[in-house]
Amino acid sequence: MPKRFEYSRYIRKLATRLPVLNYLILQISLWVIAYLFLSVLTDLVLLTAGPMLHATINFRAGLFIALFFGFFNGLAAGYASWIFEKRFYNKALWLIILGKAIISFIVFVLLISIVRSVIFPYLQERYFDAATPPVLQQSWDAFFYLLLLYNIFIGLLISFINQVNKKYGPGVLFPLLLGKYRKPKEEERIILFMDLKSSTTIAETMENLRYSAFIRDSFMDINAVLSTFNAQIYQYIGDEIVISWTIEEGLKGLSCIKFFFACQEKFKARSGHYIDQYGQVPEFKAGLHMGKIVVVEIGYIKRDIAYHGDTMNTAARIQSVCNDYNKNFLASVHVLANTGIAKYYKTESIGLVELKGKNNPIEITSISRLAGI
């Protein structure tokens, strides 16, 4: 039986393997759709009033201009937005908005100039007869201001879509719009709770703003590792971050386990930055579990997608006992069964552990690197 196409999983894979391309495709698609809509709307207006105004209408010419504007506007705006978000994320928001607005305006003026001096003469020769009157300067001025206002409106709308997409992660926005999570939906997922070690002590030794920056930088470095291991962020909770995978993506190549150690390597590689800025390198403890969860859209004033169920509670409780056993990474045996993990990592059974709030004890195993790896 062939596998059913899953939009969310496909988009997540594309975003993971080719993040820049995935982002640019989305931006170009949105801008092309916006300009195609404007082209169709303009043609309908001209079809309505054209006979009275003696206006000349050619759908193909309008379509060509719409595709040109949509593609190159989306490409330029998307790439500029990507650069600003990645390189200047710690700058003031108004500076980022101003920078993107200036670039967008320059690109817009350039595209208008190309349309007027190159594309329109070509379309006029190809699609309009010699008797068609020339376009007046005031018409070009009106065309410029019409597209400028439209560009500003569409730019704001697409920015809003991008922010919503970032909040929920790749592949979630359109299922959300279609109401996929309005009713509780059961899924099987792997859940990883990661919590900053000695967070209370660190917070006491740093002033609030410096501690917040320390947490921010730690989470940004964790974010940088996500795509390599098909990981998704479910939630930030203070100095804790919750990561999830589908069962297939998490177990494939031991991604759900390798992710934790990749985060450690990232902190180690950036240790110079952390020592200079904060006097210490972040260290996290983690709890891993898998099983059924319920996904549902919640809230009215503030909407969110929530994960519920025993799997979430168990993963959180496993992470909470790391200090009790002086371990950084604990997992339920259920996750490790049939993974062949012993070839790559050292595992040590903690035994049956009674977790707070659970009636039955659960067998837990610690995970650490093999010597020399």
The angle subtended at Cα 38 by Cα 35 and Cα 39, nearest 5°, is: 90
Q: C-alpha distances in angstroms, 259 versus 50, 193, 264, 341?
A: 62, 12, 9, 14
What pLDDT does residue 195 have? 95
Nearest to 161 by CA among 105, 94, 101, 78: 78
Backbone angles phi, psi at 100, to 5 degrees: -65, -35
Nearest to 168 by CA among 313, 12, 317: 12
Give me the residue label for tokens 């030794």.
Answer: 205
Specify which residues 221 forms β-bridges with.
none
Alpha helix stretches (DSSP H) within 134-179: 137-168, 173-177
What pLDDT does residue 213 have? 92
What pLDDT does residue 277 have? 93
Q: Do residues 127 and 119 lie in contact, with contact meaning Cβ atoms separated by under 8 Å?
A: no
* Residues making up the chain, counted from first to last: 373
What pLDDT does residue 222 have? 95
What pLDDT does residue 2 have? 41
Q: State CA 368 to chain mean position distance.
A: 30
Backbone angles phi, psi at 368, to 5 degrees: -145, 170
Task: Provide the terminal-to-terminal Cα distance of the chain, rounded to the nearest Å.
Answer: 41
Question: Residue 370 gets which letter from DSSP?
Answer: P
Q: C-alpha distances in angstroms, 145 versus 104, 142, 151?
A: 15, 5, 10
- Taking the C-alpha atoms of residue 232 and residue 9, their distance in angstroms, rounded to an integer, is 11
Locate 249 and state its tokens: 């993506």
Neighbouring residues of 132: CB distance < 8 A, sequence distance ≥ 6: 56, 124
Nearest to 267 by CA among 199, 220, 211, 330: 220
Average pLDDT by consecutive 10-residue portion of the chain (373 residues)?
50 64 84 90 73 59 86 88 74 75 88 86 69 63 86 87 73 69 87 94 90 93 89 90 92 92 95 94 95 87 84 94 93 83 85 84 88 48
